[in-house]
């Protein structure tokens, strides 16, 4: 709403048919013929006589709050007539007049007026500056502006703000939008005036001021929008500005956006967390309380795979869920088609380089992100990369002096990390592309193509004996976007590296031996296994313990756990008591301790959750893989 130079109360035509505290189809500064500014009232005054408020509680809730949230939701849904009728019948309004006027001023690009309404007119008097007219022009602002007057609902002290609100920051946001729109209209002199006389005096965010200043050099509006990552007045920028500022206005006068939907989501999230067997990304119905039946959760074995002749140490699904790879002490890697779990390939690549029957065990396998290749890491001090299409060997590494224990692919499906228990090459980056630049698609096998080593200190044959000491790796993982590498060491440390700079960026000392580590699907959390049966979720940024999952046993052997299920909502782990343990990730509540491998005895070594179906696989000392 634009304030005139009189005390007369004038009604401004609407710029939208719904509350921008909800969704607004028109926020580009164009006036509509309707006189509704919030979807159902003019300047906050309902049409007709206002009924006496009913102050009685609504089933224990404040009636005014419930009614105003309903008003906002009806506008969000597009039911503006119903909102108008509810306001008239209840006597409650969604917003006080000054908030409605502030919203209208932002929507129409009336920046001086918006700032006056936000801060109170006495706090924003300027000696000059730019006043945008309907978002398109500019004019000098009168120094002796008329009082905003309480009769129009504009408090002299401005809008009521939240306790944590930063008024200077809010002014910066308004003036920044004003500056960008002037640049967008190629009104460069006016924009420069705003930059020098309105933004700079706020003394906020010098780096941002420099960035805004550099935008003066943009040659066109399109260039400006690209450089500023901003979509213009006719885009979503004004609505987003309102959304950002609304977070700092007292919710008692400006209800947070989409409040009812937020409350519904909170109820659904709470019910999901309280549902032990919730294994779907579908939101529960609002009509009834939610509880998934146990029958919908994978608690029963439906398939056993018995192709291994000795302990099965590792199991992994492909990223698209179409294949399952298993590996074990017998040196065999089995590749199954998950449509019927028929054996696709039986791979014995590690039989070529035996140093004894007891050293051929395959302890790790990993599919490339495009599911074209599979790495297998073996106790006979080598790794092999095969093509899953035909089982052909495409890369090989055998320049290690200790077992190769772990592997992790980068997103390009051509480079990967190898971890070993050797001190000479404990952690290295390898490529399927040969030194000549040819890809693994060629007929030749790429051999020992290490392109970077994270050994600390670097290996030096001529150096002192203590130069040969370095960390040794038990497991490693790369986050989903390929920016971070994390590794666990025999000496109880977690090492974090930036894969772009290849520099170490974090190191966390733990109090017991680590045997497994992996990232969650969003890269924000790490999951580790430690001796004494500890399964922990850690922050991938700080290393802080976020959750401990209790029940599994581990005192002697390598045990692996994984995030899994719909939305990564579960943690599943093997255990030395022949059970598979499943917990809720967010709460640590034990969902099940499954006896699937108990009959055969021994340890459950590894687990993997199907990426698209509600099933998981477990590998045990009983020589079986159970689904």
In tens, the pLDDT along 367-393 reads: 999 999 999 999 999 999 999 998 899
What number is the average pLDDT over the span 287-309?
Answer: 90
The alpha-helical segments, DSSP class H, found in 524-617 are none
CA distance 418 to 396: 12
Long-range contacts of 428-431 (CB under 8 A, 24+ apart): 428/452, 428/453, 428/454, 428/455, 429/453, 429/454, 429/502, 430/395, 430/397
Asked if residue 561 has pLDDT above 80, the reply is yes
Q: Is 312 helix (H, G, I), strand (E, B) or coil?
A: strand
pLDDT at 221 over 60: yes
- What was the pLDDT predicted at 435? 65
> What is the mean pLDDT of the segment spanning 255-269?
91
Asked whether the beta carbons of 31 and 108 are under 8 A apart, the reply is yes
**pLDDT tier at 125, thresholds 50, 70, 90:** very low
- Model confidence band, residue 24 (pLDDT cutoffs 50, 70, 90): very low
Task: For 34-48, write each residue's pLDDT tens digit.
Answer: 333 343 343 344 344
pLDDT by residue (tens digit) across 185-205?
999 999 999 999 999 999 888
Residue with tokens 């108008």: 84
Q: Where would I find the beta strands (DSSP E) of 435-540?
A: 446-447, 450-453, 473-478, 484-489, 493-498, 504-509, 514-519, 525-530, 534-539
For residue 38, what are the contacts with CB-CB under 8 A and spacing of at least 6? 19, 44, 75, 93, 94, 95, 100, 103
Q: Are 168 and 204 in contact (CB under 8 A)?
A: yes
Give the distance, in angstroms, between the CA of residue 556 and the centroid of all CA atoms in the same chain: 36
Closest CA to 352 of 447, 474, 275, 280: 447
Give the confidence band of 10 by pLDDT, cuts at 50, 70, 90.
very low
Residues in the chain: 627
pLDDT in tens, 573-599: 999 999 999 999 999 999 999 987 776
Look at residue 540 in the predicted model and tell me its pLDDT: 95
Chain center to CA of 114 = 34
**Who contacts 456 (Cβ-Cβ below 8 Å, separation ≥6)?**
470, 471, 504
Q: Which long-range contacts (CB under 8 A, 24 or more apart) does 142-146 make?
A: 142/5, 145/3, 145/5, 145/116, 145/121, 146/3, 146/4, 146/5, 146/6, 146/7
Quote the CA–CA distance of 365 and 609 in Å, as a whole number: 15
Give the Å distances, CA to CA, from 315 to 270, 368, 379, 463, 626: 33, 15, 16, 41, 10
Tell me the average pLDDT across 7-14: 37
The average pLDDT across 256-284 equals 89
Categorize the per-residue pLDDT at 442 as very low, low, confident or very high, splitting at 50, 70 and 90: low
Average pLDDT rounded to a whole number, residues 402-409: 94
Q: Is 21 helix (H, G, I), strand (E, B) or coil?
A: coil
> Could you report the per-residue pLDDT of 312-357, keeping only the tens digit for each?
999 999 999 999 999 999 999 999 999 999 999 898 888 766 554 4
* Residue 467: pLDDT over 80: no
- What 3-state DSSP class applies to 7? coil
Q: Are 107 and 15 in contact (CB under 8 A)?
A: yes
- Quickly state the pLDDT bin for 129 (edges 50, 70, 90): very low
What is the mean predicted confidence (pLDDT) over 233-249? 91
User: How far is Cα 386 from Cα 394, in angstroms, rounded to an integer?
Assistant: 5
Strand 604-609 relative to strand 333-337, pairing:
unpaired
pLDDT above 70 covers what percent of the chain?
Answer: 81
pLDDT at 410: 97
Quote the tokens at residue 91. 């006597």
Contact call for residues 427 and 487 (beta carbons, < 8 A): yes
Q: Tell me the residue ranges of DSSP E strands in 118-196.
A: 131-133, 137-139
Q: Is 121 helix (H, G, I), strand (E, B) or coil?
A: helix
The pLDDT assigned to 438 comes to 57
DSSP-assigned letters across all residues of 127-142 = SS--EEETTTEEEPPP
Model confidence at 83, pLDDT cuts 50, 70, 90, reads: very high
Q: Across all residues in the chain, what is the average pLDDT?
A: 83
pLDDT band at 460 (very low <50, low <70, confident <90, very high): low
Reported as a single tens digit per residue, the pLDDT across 471-480 is 889 999 999 9
């Amino acid at each position: 709403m634009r304030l005139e130079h009189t005390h007369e109360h004038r009604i401004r035509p609407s710029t939208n048919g719904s509350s921008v505290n909800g969704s607004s189809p028109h926020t580009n500064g164009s006036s509509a013929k309707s006189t509704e500014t919030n979807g159902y009232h003019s300047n906050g005054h309902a049409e007709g006589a206002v009924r006496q408020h009913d102050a009685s509680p609504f089933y224990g809730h404040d009636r005014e709050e419930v009614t105003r949230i309903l008003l906002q939701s009806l506008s969000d849904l597009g039911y503006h007539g119903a909102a108008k009728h509810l306001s008239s019948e209840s006597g409650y309004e969604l917003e006080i007049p000054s908030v409605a006027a502030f919203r209208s001023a932002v929507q129409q690009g009336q920046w001086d007026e918006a700032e006056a309404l936000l801060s109170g007119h006495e706090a924003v008097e300027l000696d000059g500056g730019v006043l945008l007219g309907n978002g398109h022009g500019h004019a000098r602002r009168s120094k002796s502006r008329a009082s905003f007057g309480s009769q129009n609902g504009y408090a002299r002290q401005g809008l009521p703000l939240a306790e944590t609100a930063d008024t200077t920051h809010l002014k910066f946001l308004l003036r920044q939008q004003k500056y960008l729109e002037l640049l967008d209209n190629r009104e460069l002199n006016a924009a420069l005036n705003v930059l020098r006389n309105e933004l700079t005096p706020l003394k906020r965010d010098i780096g941002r001021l420099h960035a805004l200043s550099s935008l003066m050099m943009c040659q066109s509006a399109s260039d400006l929008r690209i450089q500023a990552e901003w979509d213009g007045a006719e885009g979503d920028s004004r609505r987003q500005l309102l959304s950002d500022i609304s977070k700092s206005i007292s919710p008692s006068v400006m209800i947070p956006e989409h409040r009812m939907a937020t409350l519904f989501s909170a109820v659904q999230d709470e019910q999901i967390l309280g549902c032990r067997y919730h294994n779907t990304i579908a939101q529960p119905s609002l009509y009834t309380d939610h509880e998934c039946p146990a029958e919908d959760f994978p608690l029963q074995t439906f398939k056993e795979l018995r192709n291994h002749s000795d302990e099965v140490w590792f199991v992994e699904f492909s990223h698209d869920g179409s294949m399952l790879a298993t590996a074990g002490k017998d040196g065999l890697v089995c590749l199954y088609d998950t449509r019927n779990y028929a054996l696709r390939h039986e791979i014995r690549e590690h039989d070529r380089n035996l140093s004894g029957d007891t050293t051929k065990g395959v302890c790790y396998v990993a599919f490339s992100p495009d599911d074209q290749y599979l790495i297998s890491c073996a106790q006979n001090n080598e790794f092999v990369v095969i093509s899953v299409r035909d089982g052909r060997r495409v890369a090989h590494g055998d320049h290690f002096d200790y077992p190769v224990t772990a592997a992790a692919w980068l997103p390009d499906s051509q480079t990967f990390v190898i971890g070993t228990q050797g001190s000479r090459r404990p952690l290295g980056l390898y490529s399927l592309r040969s030194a000549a630049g040819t890809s693994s698609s060629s007929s030749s096998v790429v051999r020992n193509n290490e392109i970077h080593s994270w050994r600390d200190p670097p290996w030096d044959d001529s150096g002192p004996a203590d130069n040969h000491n370095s960390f040794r790796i038990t497991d490693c993982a790369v986050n989903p976007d390929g920016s971070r590498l994390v590794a666990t060491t025999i000496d109880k440390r977690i090492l974090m590296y930036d894969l772009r700079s290849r520099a170490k960026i974090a190191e966390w000392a733990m109090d017991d031996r680590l045997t497994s580590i992996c990232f969650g699907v969003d890269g924000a959390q790490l999951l580790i296994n430690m001796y004494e049966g500890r399964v922990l979720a850690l922050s991938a940024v700080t290393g802080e313990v976020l959750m401990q999952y209790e029940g599994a046993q581990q005192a002697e052997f390598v045990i692996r756990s994984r995030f899994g299920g719909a939305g990564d909502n579960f943690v599943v782990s093997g255990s030395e008591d022949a059970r598979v343990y499943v917990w809720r990730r967010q709460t640590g509540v034990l969902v099940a301790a499954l006896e699937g491998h108990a009959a055969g005895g021994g340890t459950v070594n590894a687990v993997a959750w199907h990426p698209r179906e509600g099933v998981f696989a477990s590998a045990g000392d009983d020589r079986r893989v159970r689904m």
